Amino acid sequence: MNIKNMNLNLIDKLILLALDDNKGTFVSDSAFLGYGIAGAVIFELSIEGSIEIIEKKIKVLKRAALKDEALDYCLDIIKKSKKEKTLQDWLQILGEKESSLKEMTIDKLTLLKILTKKEDKFLWIFSNNKFPTKNEFPENKLRVRLHDIVKNNKEPELKEVMLISLIDSCKLNNEVYGKIIAKEQEKQIKSIIKRVQFTNSTNEIIKEIHDSIIAAILLIIVTTTFIT
């Protein structure tokens, strides 16, 4: 596969951005990353037409596999549910699968030679695998595009707005944009998320999906923080 033409999904991109390029470990600010990954999964399944959100409940539309391990894993969990659950329920359920979803996505990115596996030994006994960047092009291209949107007012696509929203929800702005730019552009980031535009009925549905997912993630994060 030509790496320059690779079409990474939202899960791939979010995890790639949340990994420290050199250390190959997840950044310390990603405490809510599991919910972000779950949001990315539901968004991807929605735009693929596998599920739909009706009155805050998720319904399965297509049961066919999508040939992506993480997406198919989550779709299978949703399909096997004995009763319909709310969007918030599924965000929590899939968010608890964070470790498995990370592993599947990292395996995919390693197979694509974007990441490489580095095995570290602790006390020569315990293994602690790390996944530093091997091919910088996909992530660099993504970061340049995000900087253009946030700092240079480039018009984002709806999927890019979703990614920016997830980055913000997962408290990854400092990691993605750098602390200075993240602070300077804080209002701009919030504005991008709020003013997402749509031009036709299909985009309007995508916007509704976006808004529903982000609202549910924020509610979960607030509730979790309060309980903690």
Give tens-digit pLDDT for 205-220. Answer: 778 888 889 889 888 8
Contacts of 216 (CB under 8 A, 6+ apart): 39, 87, 88, 91
Of 37-46, 92-101, 124-133, 149-158, the range with the lowest mean pLDDT is 124-133
Domain boundaries, the chain: 3-227
The structure tokens 């320059």 sit at: 4
Q: What phi and psi, each to the nearest 5 degrees, are found at residue 11? A: -65, -50
Q: Helix 158-169 vs helix 186-194: angle between axes, to the nearest 10 degrees?
A: 130
Neighbours of 153 (CB within 10 A): 10
What whole-number percentage of the chain has pLDDT above 90? 64
C-alpha dihedral sign at 195, 217, 75, 18? positive
Give the pLDDT of residue 124: 56
Cα dist from 114 to 37, 142, 146, whole Å: 19, 13, 19
**Averaged pLDDT, 26-48:** 88
Percent of the chain with pLDDT over 70: 87
pLDDT digits (tens, 9 = 90+) for 1-10: 444 446 899 9
Of the candidate ranges 45-59, 158-172, 197-211, the one whose mean pLDDT is the lowest: 197-211
Ranking 25-39, 116-130, 193-207, 213-227 by mean pLDDT, the lowest is: 193-207
Closest to 219 (Cα-Cα) out of 39, 98, 13: 39
pLDDT value, residue 199: 53
* pLDDT tens, position by position, 89-130: 999 999 999 999 999 999 999 999 999 988 776 655 566 789
Residues 37, 99: Cα–Cα separation, whole Å: 10
Return the number of other C-beta atoms located less than 10 Å from residue 175's C-beta.
Answer: 20
Whether domain 3-227 has CATH 3.30.310.50: no
